[in-house]
Amino acid sequence: MNKRPGRIPSVADGDTAACQTGDFSEVLSGLRGATILGINPPAFDFTFFDFWSKPLGLLFILDALREQGNDIHLVDCIYEGATEPLSFGRVRVERTEVRKPPPFAHIPRRYHRFGMNEEAFLQRLRCLPKPDYILVTSGMTYWYEGVRWCIGHLREIFPSVPLLLGGVYARLCPAHAVRSGADMVQTEPLRLELNGPAMDLYDAPAYGVLMTSFGCPMACEYCASRRLSPSYTERSVGEVLRDAARQFALPGVHHAAFYDDALLINKERRFYPLCETLRTRFPHVQYHTPNGLHVHEIDRRCAEELKRTGFTTIRLSLESTDPGFQRRGSNKTTAEEFQFACAQLVEAGYDIRRVETYILAGLPGQSLRSVEESIRFVQRCGARARLAEYSPVPDTPMFEEVAARMPELRREPLLSNKSVFSTYVAGILAPEAMQSLKNLAGEKP
DSSP state of 292: P
Find the range with the poorest average confidence among 253-262, 327-336, 385-394.
327-336
Reply yes or no on whether the pLDDT at 13 is more than 60.
no
| CA-based max dimension of the chain | 64
Question: In this predicted model, what pLDDT tens digit does every residue of 47-94 receive, in sequence order?
Answer: 999 999 999 999 999 999 999 999 999 999 999 999 999 999 999 999
Query: Ramachandran region of residue 69, left (φ > 0), alpha (ψ -120 to 50) or beta?
Result: left
95 Cβ contact partners less than 8 Å away, ≥ 6 residues apart: 48, 112, 113, 114
Distance CA 248, CA 263 (A): 20
Contact status, residue 261 vs residue 225, Cβ threshold 8 Å: yes
Residue of 103, 98, 79, 102 whose CA lies nearest to 90: 79
- The whole-chain average pLDDT of the chain stands at 94
Question: In this predicted model, what pLDDT tens digit does every residue of 210-235 receive, in sequence order?
Answer: 999 999 999 899 999 989 999 999 99
Contact status, residue 255 vs residue 286, Cβ threshold 8 Å: yes
Residue of 264, 243, 212, 198 whose CA lies nearest to 59: 198
Distance CA 352, CA 44 (A): 34
Question: In this predicted model, what pLDDT tens digit does every residue of 19-39 receive, in sequence order?
Answer: 999 999 999 999 999 999 999
Reply yes or no on whether the pLDDT at 11 is more than 70.
no
Query: Which ranges in 235-334 belong to alpha helices (H)?
Result: 237-248, 272-281, 300-309, 323-328
Question: In this predicted model, what pLDDT tens digit does every residue of 405-432 receive, in sequence order?
Answer: 999 999 999 999 999 999 999 999 999 9
pTM exceeds 0.75, yes or no: yes
Distance CA 107, CA 100 (A): 9
N- to C-terminal Cα distance for the chain? 55
pLDDT band, residue 16 (cuts 50/70/90): low
Where is 341: in which H helix or E strand?
helix 335-348
Distance CA 420, CA 331 (A): 27
User: Using CA atoms in the order 392, 81, 165, 105, what is the torsion angle rounded to 10 degrees?
Assistant: 40
